[in-house]
Amino acid sequence: MDTPQIGFVVFDGFQPLDLVGPHEVFGNAGYRSRIIAPRAGLVRSRSALPVHAEYGVDDVDPAGVDTLVVVGGAGVDEARRDEALVGWIAAAGAAARRVTSVCSGVFLLAAAGLLRGRRVTTHWKRRDQLAAEHPELTVDCDPIFIRDGRFWTSAGVTAGMDLALALVEEDLGRDIAHEVARELVMFLRRPGSQSQFSVPLWSARPSSDPIRIVVDAVHAVPGARHGIEDLAARAGLSPRHLQRRFTAELGVPPAAYVERVRVEAARRALAEGDDPVEAIARTCGFGTAETLRRAFHRHVGVPPSDYRDRFRSTKEYA
């Protein structure tokens, strides 16, 4: 296929990794990219890193962009009040083969009216704001990226690189996408269904000592006995009292919490080691490989073997 033209949209206060990460992925795969801002010239990122945008929106035919990538960052709230910028994004998005956003860049796509009725994701911190301001969207902030037709949205910062690798794979094949990942010393591409939430993010911290003791014990040895009776004994509470307090403080019941911690432990074991799935299932407290597979499908969206193939540490290629 002809080399696609990538159009990156930036603005004052953008998140630099939202631009630089995907830009490097596409560059290593041989794509041509243009950085487009409200006006050509110097654009200051959120961290004050200056970037030169060669093009302003008045300089670029919106019909000439194959893949539109709208980055995010703290400046997105001000940027979406720029009528000229939003209008150009709307025109470019209507014509583009693919329309994508990184992190809070989804707010600009939504302001341009491109996402009505779509399922989208963004950085987990922006979930409630996006859902409240755009009820016409289905907001799901568990996956690291989501594809809905020709529209792709991704979670924060490094998830933009996973999205870019997925687009490279769609265009050029899995082998080239993996070569790009190796060149950039990245993990091999994570599937979009990979959760953006690790345990410290999806769970609140306990507010009382008994629950903190229980949580620390689960994290210390995920594969140990963590039934409700075992946890209640550690906390010095009755099982019913523990169930009630645990759920109130952390937002999930003990059994669900234990399962998610065990899934996290299994993910690490699959990515970093060579133990068979059956052994990892026993070590992480699932008992059988089938139980582990069912839990993986619930939380990660892919079977353990597929996860290992896609998310193996790049240390084996060093």
Catalytic status, residue 141: no
Which amino acid, residue 1?
M
Helix (H, G, I), strand (E, B) or coil at 96: coil
Distance (Å, rounded) from C-alpha 157 to C-alpha 22? 9
Helix (H, G, I), strand (E, B) or coil at 246: helix
Closest to 114 in 3D by CA, of 144, 153, 168, 78? 153
C-alpha to C-alpha distances, 19 to 16, 46, 120, 164, 296, nearest whole angstrom: 5, 12, 19, 11, 31
Query: How many helices (H) does the chain have, and how many strands (E)?
Result: 15, 11
Q: Pick left, alpha or beta for residue 82 (phi over 0 → left; psi -120 to 50 → alpha; otherwise beta).
A: beta
Q: Which long-range contacts (CB under 8 A, 24 or more apart) does 303-310 make?
A: 304/266, 304/270, 304/277, 304/280, 305/277, 306/191, 307/191, 307/194, 307/267, 307/270, 307/271, 308/270, 308/271, 309/188, 310/188, 310/189, 310/190, 310/191
Q: Kindly report the backbone phi and psi dihedral angles of residue 132, in degrees, each rounded to the nearest multiple of 5, phi listed first.
A: -70, -40
Q: Which helix (H) or strand (E) holds 139?
A: strand 138-139
Distance (Å, rounded) from C-alpha 19 to C-alpha 168? 16
User: Which residue among the candidates 36, 103, 137, 188 is catalytic per the annotation?
Assistant: 103
Distance (Å, rounded) from C-alpha 227 to C-alpha 243? 11
Which sequence positions are flagged as catalytic? 103
